[in-house]
Amino acid sequence: MFNYFKTIYKVGKALIQGMMVTWKSFWQPAVTVQFPDEKLNTPERFRGALTFDKETCTACNLCIKACPTACISLEPAVDPATKKRIAKVSWYQIDFGKCNYCRLCEEACPTKPIKSVRHTHQYEWGMLERKEMLVKWERMIPSTEPLTSTNMKPI
């Protein structure tokens, strides 16, 4: 008989203690960040969308070999006068539909001091069709005005 009431007391006390936990956090300030207005700052090593610097790239294909899902494709530039390949790239394309954001291409890229393919801190990027996932950087030798990627804002 006695421990019947003891269990009731224990059950009641445990339930009340559980409610105290929620009561305490009822008064604590919330932790949510209201995304469009307040934004968290991304850390220095953040792996956002890839960007490409077409001047420094030497078309050495190391990033293509390193990529696990083979989403990079490029074509080395040919000097129109001498018809020989030069250490520049004519177009460079990344298929962001397959990219794993794994940073292996950036680590494989030999260009100094800034790598020609590297991660940016940009994570807000939506697209409407699958075609937009194929981002192409072209570097026409004769043309004067600098060409940027078809839809990529310069970062």
Partner 1 sequence: MNTEIVKIQGQDSKTEEMILNLGPQHPSTHGVLRVILKMDGEVITSAQPDVGYLHRGTEKLAENRTYPQMLVISDRWDYLAAMSNNLVWSLAVEKLMQIEVPARGQILRVIMVELNRIASHLVFFGTYGIDIGAYTPFLYAFREREKILDLFEEVSGARMTYNYIRIGGVMADLPKDWIGRCRSFLEWMKPRFVEYDTLLTENPIFQDRTKNIGILPQPLAISYGISGPNLRGSSNPFDLRKDAPYCLYDKFNFSIPTGKNGDCWDRYWVRIEEMKESVKIIEQALEMLPEGECNAKVPRIIRPPIGEVYAQIEAPRGMLGIYLVSDGGDKPYRVHVRPPSFINLAVLQEILVGMKVADVIAILGSIDIVLGEVDR
Partner 2 sequence: MILPVWNESQKRSALILFGIASAGAGISIAIGEIGARFSKIWACLSSFALKNSIPTALLTPLSMIIQCSILIGFISVSVMFMVWWERKVSAHMQNRLGPMFTGGWHGWAQTIADAIKLLLKEDIIPAEANPWVHRLAPIVAFVPAFLCYAALPFGEGLISADLDIGILYIFAISGLSVLGIVMAGWGSGNKYSLLGGLRAAAQSVSYEIPRVLSVVPILMMVGSLKLTSIANVQTGFWQIAGIPVLPKWFIFYPIVGQIAFLIFLISSVAETNRTPFDIAEAESELVAGFHTEYSGMKFSFFFLAEYAYVFLSSGLTTVLFLGGGSGPILPSWSWFLLKSFAVVFLFLWFRWTFPRLRVDRLMEFTWKFLLPWSFVNILITGFILLF
Q: Which residues would be at the binding site for partner 2 (CB under 8 A)?
A: 15, 18-19, 21-23, 25-32, 34
CA dist., res. 80 & res. 62, Å (int): 25
Residue ranges binding partner 1 (CB under 8 A): 10-11, 14-15, 17-18, 20-22, 25, 31, 42-47, 66-68, 100-104, 119
Phi, psi of 10 (to 5 degrees): -65, -45
**Ordered DSSP codes for 50-95:** EEE-TTT-----HHHHH-TT--EEEEEEE-TTT--EEEEEEEEEEE
In terms of CB distance, is 90 or 120 closer to partner 1?
120
In terms of CB distance, is 22 or 34 closer to partner 1?
22
Q: How far is the CB of 41 from partner 2 (least distance, A)?
A: 18
Contact partner at residue 23 from partner 1, partner 2, none, CB < 5 to 8 Å by partner kind? partner 2
In terms of CB distance, is 101 or 125 closer to partner 1?
101
CA dist., res. 112 & res. 73, Å (int): 21
* Beta-bridge partner residues of 50: 119
